[in-house]
Amino acid sequence: MELANHPTIRVAACDLNGQMRGKRVPGGYAAKLDQGAIRMPLSVLNVDIFGADIDGSPLVFASGDADGVLHPTGRGPVPLPWLDAPQPLVPMAMHHDDGLPFEGDPRHALVAVLDRFGERGWQVIAATELEFTLVDDSGETLHRVRDPRSGRRLEAPGILSMTQMDAFDPFLTALYEACAAMGIPAQTATSEAGIGQFEVTLNHQDGLRAADDTWLFKTLIKGLAHKHGFSATFMAKPFANDAGNGMHMHFSVIDAEGRNLFDDGGEAGTDLLRAAVAGCLAALPGSTLVFAPHANSYTRLVPDAHAPTSASWAYENRTAAIRIPGGPPQARRIEHRVSGGDINPYLTFAAILGAAITGIEEGMTPPAPITGNAYQRDLPAMAPDWETAIDRFATDPMVARILPGQLIANLVMTKRQELRLMRDIPTETQWKTYLETV
């Protein structure tokens, strides 16, 4: 894609809430992007969900709100098919003037985790399954989406319904075309348990590319929905009495010869798989904040609601937080089922994969896999509420082995400010804050 031929292009990095923060610049800037032509305050990646600076943040007040330098991530420019005029986006990452990565950038946190695998000659292969809900947000109350054919609101879930897929065929067809244009490997699309809810699976690929594509995909869904006359949200729980939106991450690890290090030729998987599972379990209670980062997230994390609430693992058991799917041994992998759809993909990948490599490095051993319903067992629990999750994340030793100190401190400051502000917003109107931002 020849960027210089476009009147304007976009450049953006990912903030702690997963939102794009950046600028619209002339196409002539394309030749200068690698030279540090784009500068933004370091603090812009540490704003709250409302887009405001954090009270007392040292990034703002102690440093004089110093600038950082944006450099392309290497993902390359991508088209934004929901816009009327062509305006490519160049994904960026934040650096200091001396070229060192800014530790408050969540993408850099993931790169650092993946480097720990790379030091062993390994590569992470990952994929995501993302649920989202189509809604009508045209009034003061959030409503179910209308059937584009009849104009009537949807009233019932359509689990794996082809009829419901047909109703939204123009949107879904445009979605696949847009994914192809953006280089996002969309696979299956299904109608899910929620009313107006769909799930799209992205194909297995390099772990960093999978995170990049998940971030871009969330933006694509929202933009494309608007173009088709409704809204889309990844809120963990758009409607209190309906299914929530989750994001499941699948991953395996391959060596330099392309061999799956989780494959032992049978159903059980290798000791390496079990060490990775043990790391993920050890990190779950302390890293709940990453998987449930908002006030609305905790309305999804309740028993018997298709969202795991405790640290458990199992083979082919969807009530467990960590599931080992069946299938051919060469495809043996770990499925992490905890995250809501409202997560920051880079932080989520970093927390999961960082826990896995820590488990491997330390030779951890998991408890026996569970059988039966995880909700009915006495197991280590995830944080039960937002405030507890923030406090645990701030001091958890496992989190400190996975994420850089500055990112931990920044996220805690951000979430404590959001917690304080959201307390003043009635629960029934909090969707206005979260609908477009998560």
Length of the chain: 438
pLDDT tens string 13-24: 999 999 999 999
Task: Decide if 107 is inside a domain.
Answer: no
- Is 280 found in the same domain as 157? yes
- Is 323 found in the same domain as 300? yes
- Check whether 61 has a pLDDT greater than 80: no
Q: For residue 10, give the CATH number of its domain.
A: 3.10.20.70
- Is 390 found in the same domain as 294? yes
Yes or no: say if 183 and 176 are a contact pair by the CB < 8 Å rule. no
pLDDT tens string 268-299: 999 999 999 999 999 999 999 999 999 999 99
- Is 124 found in the same domain as 147? yes
Report pLDDT for 85. Answer: 87
> Considering the chain, what is the average pLDDT of its residues?
94
CB atoms within 10 A of CB 351: 32
- Is 393 found in the same domain as 342? yes
Tally: H helices and E strands in the chain:
11, 15
Report pLDDT for 160. Answer: 67
Task: Decide if 397 is inside a domain.
Answer: yes
Q: Which two tokens stand for residue 402?
A: 């996975």
Number of domains, the chain: 2
- Is 329 found in the same domain as 283? yes
CA separation for the pair 244, 306 (Å, rounded): 8
Q: Work out the percent of the chain whose per-residue pLDDT is above 70.
A: 99
pLDDT tens string 212-235: 999 999 999 999 999 999 999 999
Task: Decide if 109 is inside a domain.
Answer: no
pLDDT tens string 317-354: 888 999 999 999 999 999 999 999 999 999 999 999 99
CA separation for the pair 159, 243 (Å, rounded): 11
Give the domain-ending residue among 102, 135, 167. 102
- Is 274 found in the same domain as 244? yes
Phi, psi at 189, each rounded to 5°: -125, 135
Task: Decide if 191 is inside a domain.
Answer: yes
Report pLDDT for 115. Answer: 98
pLDDT tens string 362-420: 999 999 999 888 787 888 788 999 999 999 999 999 999 999 999 999 999 999 999 99
Q: Is 0.85 surpassed by the pTM of this model?
A: yes
Task: Decide if 245 is inside a domain.
Answer: yes
Q: Tell me, what amino acid is at 79?
A: P
Task: Decide if 153 is inside a domain.
Answer: yes
Report pLDDT for 141. Answer: 94
CA separation for the pair 118, 120 (Å, rounded): 5
Report pLDDT for 169. Answer: 93
pLDDT tens string 294-310: 999 999 987 766 678 88
Q: Work out the percent of the chain whose per-residue pLDDT is above 90.
A: 80
- Is 412 found in the same domain as 275? yes
- Is 356 found in the same domain as 406? yes
- Is 89 found in the same domain as 153? no
Average pLDDT in the 240-252 region? Answer: 95
Give the domain-ending residue among 76, 102, 128. 102
DSSP code per residue over 35-51: GT-EEEEGGGGG--TTS
Give the domain range for residue 118: 114-434
Phi, psi at 433, each rounded to 5°: -80, -40
Report pLDDT for 191. Answer: 86
Q: Which two tokens stand for residue 60?
A: 């703002």
Average pLDDT in the 64-82 region? Answer: 93
Give the domain-ending residue among 81, 102, 123. 102
- Check whether 2 has a pLDDT greater than 80: no
Q: Would you call 407 helix, strand, or coil by DSSP?
A: helix
Report pLDDT for 304. Answer: 66
Average pLDDT in the 89-93 region? Answer: 97
Q: For residue 181, give the CATH number of its domain.
A: 3.30.590.10
Task: Decide if 422 is inside a domain.
Answer: yes
Task: Decide if 108 is inside a domain.
Answer: no
- Is 416 found in the same domain as 285? yes
- Is 204 found in the same domain as 143? yes
